[in-house]
Amino acid sequence: MTFRKLPPLGMLRSFEAAARHISFARAGDELGVTAAAISQQVRSLEEHLGRSLFLRRPQGLSLTEAGLSYLTVIRDAFDRLGAGTDEIFHGRSAADVSVRVTAGFAHLWLGPRLPRFLAQHPDIRLRLLTALWTPLEIDREADFEIRCGIGAWPQLTAYPLTRDRLFPVCAPGLLADLPRPLPPEIVAAQRLVHVASFAEGWADWFRGAGYSVGAENGVVVFDTASLAVDLTLAGGGFMLGRSCFVDDLVQQGQLVAPCAAKIKSTEAFYLVERAGERLAHPARTFRDWILSEVQNP
């Protein structure tokens, strides 16, 4: 067997992080060392290889052609190493993709779209791990999480999946004897349904729509959107609908939007991954697919 004199792993990690961030400082932050240490590691790697990997200019770093080509090789090697480690030592198959997602989003948004992914990629085994509340850090068992918020979480990369508007919806039968569009005082007199995990509620909708009235009969509160939608479909009240959850139901005629006023939500749903983590090919395939679903709903 021919002996391969490979560069030390520390040099390769420093180069990959610096190339991904195009910054020695940000690479140092990720790896817990100084920018000077990253710069020295990269310089040592260039000496080891006999080629420059970066162009160092006053305006910043850029990869040379050799550096760009080598980055592709290193990333592929790290991805394979990570997938193999998971498979052998952590009981994870290289064909597995694990996604932690809130129960409401899994039921109302992701679930109807999953048959397309499964048909396109029958060799990938998908694991959905549902939760009601989202912890700050990603579960160790998950490649991704789908969470609601403003899109800024420490040490995480977030890809937006929705841009939501909020508006009242109800079952068609509740409008039999009511005028259309509904005036705010009639909406306020109905049984109102709210999902506790979202930042905005009925008071925000009334205020954002320019109405001075508020709920008169109280609000039924659920901890997951699935239950709130089920009650609303059954005619149990008026729900403050989130466009990503109720648009399809309105188009199908199962729910109606009796008011014209809609407000923009401060929150959205995001696909979240650990910043800088090297994902196995099936995980990258899932990420590409779900982001394409956003572009082509």
Tell me, yes or no, whether 169 and 259 share the same domain: yes
Tell me, yes or no, whether 75 and 188 share the same domain: no
The single-letter DSSP state of residue 256 is B
Q: Could you give phi then psi for residue 49, rounded to 5 degrees?
A: -90, -20
In a domain, 73, yes or no: yes
How far is Cα 106 from Cα 129, in angstroms, rounded to an integer?
9
How far is Cα 169 from Cα 55, in angstroms, rounded to an integer?
57
Tell me, yes or no, whether 252 and 180 share the same domain: yes
How far is Cα 228 from Cα 255, in angstroms, rounded to an integer?
13
The single-letter DSSP state of residue 53 is -
Which segment of 58-62, 138-142, 199-203 scores lowest on mean pLDDT? 138-142
Q: How confident is the model at residue 122 (pLDDT cuts 50, 70, 90)?
A: very high
CATH label of the domain that carries residue 72:
1.10.10.10
Tell me, yes or no, whether 39 and 56 share the same domain: yes
In a domain, 4, yes or no: no
pLDDT tens readout for residues 123-132: 999 999 887 6
Q: How confident is the model at residue 75 (pLDDT cuts 50, 70, 90)?
A: confident
pLDDT tens readout for residues 170-222: 999 999 888 888 888 888 888 999 988 888 999 899 988 888 776 655 678 88
pLDDT tens readout for residues 158-172: 999 999 999 999 999
What is the pLDDT, as a whole number, of residue 2? Answer: 44
H helices of the chain, where?
9-21, 24-31, 35-49, 65-89, 103-105, 111-120, 184-188, 202-208, 225-233, 243-251, 281-295
Average pLDDT, the chain: 86
Could you tell me if 144 and 273 are in contact, meaning their C-beta atoms sit under 8 angstroms apart? yes
Is pLDDT at 26 greater than 70 in this prediction? yes
Is pLDDT at 232 greater than 70 in this prediction? yes
How far is Cα 134 from Cα 63, in angstroms, rounded to an integer?
38
In a domain, 132, yes or no: yes
In a domain, 86, yes or no: no
pLDDT tens readout for residues 8-21: 989 999 998 898 88
HSE-up (13 A, CA, CB side) for residue 291? 12
In a domain, 251, yes or no: yes
Tell me, yes or no, whether 151 and 169 share the same domain: no
Tell me, yes or no, whether 72 and 28 share the same domain: yes
How far is Cα 252 from Cα 250, in angstroms, rounded to an integer?
5
SS (H, E, C) 223-291: CCHHHHHHHHHCCCCEEEEEHHHHHHHHHCCCCECCCCCCEECCCEEEEEEECCCCCCHHHHHHHHHHH
Tell me, yes or no, whether 136 and 211 share the same domain: no
- Among 20-24, 79-83, 227-231, the range with the most confident prediction by mean pLDDT is 227-231
- Taking the model in full, what pTM does it have? 0.69
Percentage of residues of the chain with pLDDT beyond 90: 47
Q: How confident is the model at residue 3 (pLDDT cuts 50, 70, 90)?
A: very low
In a domain, 91, yes or no: no
Tell me, yes or no, whether 254 and 206 share the same domain: yes
Tell me, yes or no, whether 19 and 65 share the same domain: yes
Question: Range of 140's domain?
Answer: 96-163+268-295
CATH label of the domain that carries residue 287:
3.40.190.10
In a domain, 3, yes or no: no
What is the pLDDT, as a whole number, of residue 84? Answer: 67
- 144 closest CA partner among 294, 243, 289: 289
| Total count of domains within the chain | 3
In a domain, 184, yes or no: yes
Beta pairing partners, 167: 241
Tell me, yes or no, whether 148 and 288 share the same domain: yes
Tell me, yes or no, whether 60 and 191 share the same domain: no
CA distances, 265 to each of 41, 112, 240, 269 (Å) = 45, 23, 11, 11
Tell me, yes or no, whether 73 and 38 share the same domain: yes
